[in-house]
Structure 1
Amino acid sequence: MSIRVGVIGGGQLARMMVPAAVNLGLDIRVLAEQEGMSARLATVEVGDYRDADTVLAFAETVDVITFDHEHVPQHVLRALVDAGVQVHPGPDALAVAQDKLLMRERLTELGLPVPDWARVHDQEELAAFLAEHGGKGVVKTPRGGYDGKGVRVVHGPNEVDDWFTALSEDANGGALLVEELVSFRRELAQLVARRPSGEVVPWRVVETVQLGGVCSEVIAPAPGSAGRLADTAEEIAVTVATALGVTGVLAVELFETDDDRLLINELAMRPHNSGHWTQDGSVTSQFEQHLRAVLDLPLGWTGCHRDWTVMVNVLGGPAEGTLDDRYPQVLGAHPLAKVHNYGKDPRPGRKVGHVNVAGDDLDDVVYEARAAAALLGAENA
């Protein structure tokens, strides 16, 4: 019988694990939030990932549990571990990804570079922080935010009154995270994979382009990143993965500041949008590597096939029809483009797919990737 990998979450990340699982002869099964999600290509069970009994019953059908997202509550994760289930990444690591305040605390304890930050409970504490940082800052809800949600740039303490009100109405209380508004020249992402026995393997650091808080493009490797910058990014990510005991793929989102520092912005403990380029640009994709890692198999080589790979997300999609309706046009005009379709209905702002193009001339690669995405109806191309 083949090894059975269970993925909690039915989104496109679970969907993109399927080809890698097929190649490795693995049986991949998904606990999806609802019918018809992206990962319907796999064996899918529909259930509430917040319910311990549901998740424990799903775990009985597989040999190891991993994740499409980081939102599974801690009491469910602990119940899995207590039942003897192999869970990767584990509850302690995921707790840091789930709570931005805990993330900042742990990274600061490890001496890793982060923006100046504070825990604030009310307008008075927020006002004091803003006064020390030029009257502006970035306020984040500690839990649940992604793709720009739960993040506000503020210039006064009253601009998150609704969040403070919500905190005051919460029986458990709580606080918001405020950070300095970092002046940066670009955003980067460093991916590594770590397996339980300790082996850690990085990819090249990449440049990410954001649009409205959502990743729009990725250039791999980041232009001008050879040498000290690449070494520093890799050292940061390896330290995070090792110190926090992350198993599977870890993405460390970074700011490259105007004064040549790298600061950690966010962490993701799963395959990540900034790593989709690896499907067509790296010897080992992040999805294959994630499966190897959670099964504690030797990790694959992460060298690049060509000098450059560019990924462009397809945000929105065609105004009429589906992505595959556009295949004759896009595949005929851009034979170098590799189209990845998430099986979602087009909708403004929605990630419905992405395009990868690899080659040895960066300008040509960028043009081909953007042009192919535009033909697929990408709002961002």
Structure 2
Amino acid sequence: MVGGGQLARMTHQAAIALGQTLRVLAVTESDPAAQVSPDVVLGEHTDLDALRRVADGASVLTFDHEHVPTALLDELVAAGVTVAPPPSALLHAQDKIVMRRRLSELGAPVPRFAEVRDLADVDAFAAEVGGAVVVKTARGGYDGRGVTLARDVADARDAAQRYLAGGAEVLIEERVAMRRELAALVARSPFGQGAAWPVVQTVQRDGICVEVIAPAPRLDDELRLAAGELGLKLAAELGVVGVLAVELFETVDGRLLVNELAMRPHNSGHWTMDGARTSQFEQHLRAVLDYPLGDTAPLAPVTVMANVLGAQQVPTITMDERLHHLFARMPEAKVHLYGKGERPGRKIGHVNITGAANGSADDEGYLAEVRERATRAAHWLSHAEWTDGWNPHE
């Protein structure tokens, strides 16, 4: 697996159960996956020699991020390396302009967009849509980086100029009037078998996913079916092998629009580790190794995943102490820590809470209770503060 982050770390856990050894290409020995894998190659994902070393003798080469230049992957494929997903598919997760154009050709719903080569393109597009716009770099942006929600045309021009001056390719999109964000997570094997998990709702703050609700509550059955079918269709049409996450906007007028694609395990699928029969990490390995895919059925009416994000001020008590207190108060919490240092806003882990078997995602009281427990646990791990003011000494 190219990349030594938390996704590789959690994929390594799944590999152990399948009797596999996951070799990782990490930048440093302190990377999350390098801390736990016995087979580590140190190097950069832009170094062909490093890629050759990590692929040497492997059954398949896969990824925990999309940033490997496809020209290098093409060289590996020419040398006989099995790359999953293949470079021709991965390109659509790397380049938003390529992705938007291809999805438009396939008839998939996307926001109106245009490529920006100079500032006149910004003016023309803003006049065409007659509303708010978003300016993005075509490559490299994630967790809110490389994305500007423009206040007005002047702000859009400033963002485009800044990105262009930095050498980036730029696109501009209409700012969608949305009800919420959803994600359709699917997997596809080389054999062509596909599998889809329930569609989930993702909650973003400052461009970072903070919470995932599985399944998405109060989602119209027609939209739920359409989202899952769209994910499977895109996986097949683009030739994806492995997990594909399709990030979606649900608009205020009841439509679905594709926002982003990720061809790897994804934050929106972390709930599957404790809330589905087959986790996204096991499924990704099954897919790239061409095993029959696993059952994606949920294990509870609702599972809520809350990200543990670094606090502005690192707590004085250690993470180990925080875990001790959390488990004493909330023994049902399933915690996954990434072995990363704490800094403001950084994803350092996540918590999964599964709801009682007699509940329903559409029961507002039940859902609110599960969400509160998940966010309370994650906040405690981040800040060493209980959101409900609980004090064990009172």
1:324 to 320, 324, 328: 320
Per the alignment, in what secondary structure is the counterpart of residue 124 of structure 1?
helix
Question: For the Cα contact (< 8 Å) 2:250–2:257, is it kept in 1?
Answer: yes
- Kindly provide the amino acid, as one letter, of the partner of residue 367 in structure 2: L
Q: State yes or no: 1:230 paired with 2:224.
A: yes
Cα 1:254–1:216, aligned 2, differ >3 Å: closer, same or farther? same
Question: 1:317-372 CA distances to partner (integer Å, 9 max, x unpaired)?
Answer: 54335422311100111111100000111110100000000013323211211111
Aligned equivalents of 1:251, 1:272: Cα separation in 2: 6
Cα 1:131–1:226, aligned 2, differ >3 Å: closer, same or farther? closer
1:164 to 151, 161, 164: 161
- Give runs of aligned pairs for residues 39-54 of structure 1, distance below 5 A: 39=33, 40-42=35-37, 43-54=39-50
Cα 1:256–1:135, aligned 2, differ >3 Å: closer, same or farther? closer
Give 1:75 shift. 1.6
Give 1:159 shift. 3.9
Q: State yes or no: 1:74 paired with 2:74.
A: no
- Kindly provide the amino acid, as one letter, of the partner of residue 359 in structure 1: G
- Kindly provide the amino acid, as one letter, of the partner of residue 223 in structure 1: P
Aligned equivalents of 1:87, 1:330: Cα separation in 2: 41
Question: 1:138-159 CA distances to partner (integer Å, 9 max, x unpaired)?
Answer: 0100010001100001211454
What percent identity do the matched residue pairs reach? 53
Question: 1:193-238 CA distances to partner (integer Å, 9 max, x unpaired)?
Answer: 0001100100000000000000000000000125211101011111
The aligned residue for residue 199 of structure 1 is: 193
The aligned residue for residue 119 of structure 1 is: 115
Aligned equivalents of 1:278, 1:57: Cα separation in 2: 32
- Kindly provide the amino acid, as one letter, of the partner of residue 64 in structure 2: D
Structure 2: unaligned runs, 5 residues or longer: 357-365, 388-394
Aligned equivalents of 1:169, 1:184: Cα separation in 2: 30
Count of residue pairs brought into register by the alignment? 372
Cα 1:226–1:301, aligned 2, differ >3 Å: closer, same or farther? farther
Aligned equivalents of 1:200, 1:157: Cα separation in 2: 45
- Kindly provide the amino acid, as one letter, of the partner of residue 112 in structure 2: D
Deviates more, 1:73-82 or 1:248-257: 73-82
Per the alignment, in what secondary structure is the counterpart of residue 67 of structure 1?
coil
Per the alignment, in what secondary structure is the counterpart of residue 210 of structure 1?
strand
The aligned residue for residue 181 of structure 1 is: 175
TM-score, normalised to structure 2, is 0.91
Per the alignment, in what secondary structure is the counterpart of residue 61 of structure 2?
strand
Aligned equivalents of 2:267, 2:316: Cα separation in 1: 25
Question: For the Cα contact (< 8 Å) 1:322–1:346, is it kept in 2?
Answer: no
Q: State yes or no: 1:21 paired with 2:26.
A: no
- Kindly provide the amino acid, as one letter, of the partner of residue 292 in structure 2: P
- Give runs of aligned pairs for residues 77-88 of structure 1, distance below 5 A: 77-88=73-84
Aligned equivalents of 2:103, 2:145: Cα separation in 1: 22
Give 1:49 shift. 1.1
Cα 1:379–1:64, aligned 2, differ >3 Å: closer, same or farther? farther
1:57 to 48, 53, 76: 53
Per the alignment, in what secondary structure is the counterpart of residue 356 of structure 1?
strand
Aligned equivalents of 1:214, 1:162: Cα separation in 2: 20
- Kindly provide the amino acid, as one letter, of the partner of residue 377 in structure 2: A
Give 1:29 shift. 0.9
Per the alignment, in what secondary structure is the counterpart of residue 91 of structure 2?
helix
The aligned residue for residue 90 of structure 1 is: 86
Aligned equivalents of 1:314, 1:215: Cα separation in 2: 10
The aligned residue for residue 364 of structure 1 is: 369
2:137 to 127, 131, 141: 141
Give 1:175 shift. 4.0
Question: 1:15-59 CA distances to partner (integer Å, 9 max, x unpaired)?
Answer: 001221111110111000222011020122210110112211221
Deviates more, 1:217-226 or 1:261-270: 217-226
Aligned equivalents of 2:383, 2:11: Cα separation in 1: 24
Aligned equivalents of 2:73, 2:139: Cα separation in 1: 16
The aligned residue for residue 310 of structure 1 is: 304
1:340 to 333, 336, 339: 336
Cα 1:211–1:166, aligned 2, differ >3 Å: closer, same or farther? closer
Aligned equivalents of 2:180, 2:376: Cα separation in 1: 23
Question: For the Cα contact (< 8 Å) 2:243–2:263, is it kept in 1?
Answer: yes
Question: 1:254-284 CA distances to partner (integer Å, 9 max, x unpaired)?
Answer: 0000000000000000000000000000000
Per the alignment, in what secondary structure is the counterpart of residue 81 of structure 2?
coil
Cα 1:362–1:224, aligned 2, differ >3 Å: closer, same or farther? same
- Kindly provide the amino acid, as one letter, of the partner of residue 38 in structure 1: P
The aligned residue for residue 360 of structure 2 is: none
Deviates more, 1:312-321 or 1:287-296: 312-321
The aligned residue for residue 214 of structure 2 is: 220
